[in-house]
């Protein structure tokens, strides 16, 4: 297990998978300039980029955050047995995610908060699991925190959304609706303090209701950025969005704001999709930024 320590808080990475993206660089990154991209090849190959396939390599993982008071799971990957034919990488998975969670020392029943930074399919999947043919909340004792703006943006009962986006509606039906029906969802408006260490803040752009989590503990800081950044090349090139960013200008603004926060507060950046070593300190570099990867101390639970 890979665990980082922020003050008295521990953060453990729970892996679902690491693999090349389904699409090539130009298909995945909007506005990419190939000449500038190629300058980064020496540090990207082979861990962060597969040149033979021309695909970025990304991880899909959750963050298990443990304090004296809370056991939090941030983002819940794609999930097993989910019907995602439009996303081949995440279609009908069968991976030992919960076994990895248990190996990190947490049973599903131990999770008291699940925070989804947004409601894309690869961030909500383990919200639920199949139980005798029914989707039920995976974490029975947890409050699931969703942005109200994000939830309302996804809710397929509104207008003709279900007909226009059946895949998105299906993701909601199997990974969000069962949580709502179980009474475990809490819809957040604006900024929300979990406790005196952790603050949820809006970071719109990738989706309208995307949020980030800021952690401050004992003079140490961290930022859990969800999909504000997908790949470490965006640290160097914060103007490059992913093709999934719904509000491009706001996405770029939120990305720069997150990187500036990490520089100013010496906060470690905990993304959801960076490949090894997954976590980075962010340093100013001219008018931009550069990542300095921070390896975890390996711990056996």
Which pLDDT belongs to residue 190?
Answer: 96
Bridge partners (DSSP) listed for residue 115 = 74, 145
Q: What percent of the chain has pLDDT over 90?
A: 90
Q: Is the pLDDT of residue 254 over 50?
A: yes
Which pLDDT belongs to residue 159?
Answer: 85
Separation of alpha carbons 97 and 199, rounded Å: 27
Measured CA to CA in angstroms, residue 139 lies from 82, 104, 109, 194 at distances of: 17, 16, 6, 18
Q: Which residues neighbour 38 within 8 Å (Cβ) at sequence distance 6 or greater? A: none
Separation of alpha carbons 216 and 71, rounded Å: 16
Instruction: Provide mean pLDDT across the span 159-176.
Output: 91
168 confidence band (pLDDT: 50, 70, 90): confident
Instruction: Provide mean pLDDT across the span 106-110.
Output: 98
Instruction: Provide mean pLDDT across the span 79-92.
Output: 94
**113-115 and 71-74 as β-strands: parallel, antiparallel, unpaired?**
parallel
Which pLDDT belongs to residue 45?
Answer: 97
297 confidence band (pLDDT: 50, 70, 90): confident
CB 76 within 8 A of CB 126: yes
CATH (residue range 2-298): 3.60.15.10
133-150 confidence digits (pLDDT tens): 999 999 999 999 999 999
Lowest mean pLDDT among 108-112, 158-162, 210-214, 246-250: 158-162
Q: Is the pLDDT of residue 166 over 70?
A: yes
Quote the pTM value. 0.95
Q: Is the pLDDT of residue 300 over 70?
A: no
Q: What is the rounded average pLDDT for all residues in the chain?
A: 95
Q: Take residue 252 and report the two structure tokens written for it.
A: 């770029």
């Amino acid at each position: 297990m890979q665990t980082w320590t922020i003050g008295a808080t521990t953060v453990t990475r729970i892996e679902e998978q690491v693999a090349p993206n389904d699409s090539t660089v130009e298909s995945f990154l909007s506005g990419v300039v190939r000449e500038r991209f190629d300058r980064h090849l020496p540090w990207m190959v082979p861990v962060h980029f597969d040149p033979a396939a021309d695909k970025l390599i990304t991880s899909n993982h959750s963050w298990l955050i443990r304090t004296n008071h809370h056991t939090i799971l941030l983002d819940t990957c794609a999930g097993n047995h989910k019907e995602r034919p439009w996303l081949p990488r995440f279609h009908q998975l069968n991976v030992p995610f919960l076994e990895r969670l248990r190996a990190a020392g947490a049973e599903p029943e131990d999770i008291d908060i699940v925070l989804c930074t947004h409601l894309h399919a690869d961030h909500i999947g383990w919200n639920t699991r199949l139980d005798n043919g029914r989707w039920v909340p995976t974490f029975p004792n947890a409050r699931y925190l969703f942005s109200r703006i994000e939830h309302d943006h996804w809710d397929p009962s509104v207008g003709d959304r279900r007909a226009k986006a059946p895949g998105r509606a299906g993701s909601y039906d199997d990974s969000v609706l069962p949580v709502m029906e179980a009474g475990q969802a809490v819809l957040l408006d604006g900024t929300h303090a979990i406790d005196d260490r952790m603050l949820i803040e809006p970071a719109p752009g990738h989706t309208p209701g995307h949020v980030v989590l800021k952690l401050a503990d004992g003079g140490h800081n961290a930022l859990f950025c969800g999909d504000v950044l997908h790949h470490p090349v965006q640290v160097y090139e914060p103007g490059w969005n992913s093709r999934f960013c719904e509000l491009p200008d706001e996405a770029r603004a939120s990305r720069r704001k997150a990187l500036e926060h990490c520089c100013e507060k010496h906060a470690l950046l905990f993304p959801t999709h960076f490949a090894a070593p997954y976590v980075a300190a962010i340093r100013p570099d001219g008018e931009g930024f550069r990542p300095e990867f921070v390896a975890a101390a390996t711990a056996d639970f």
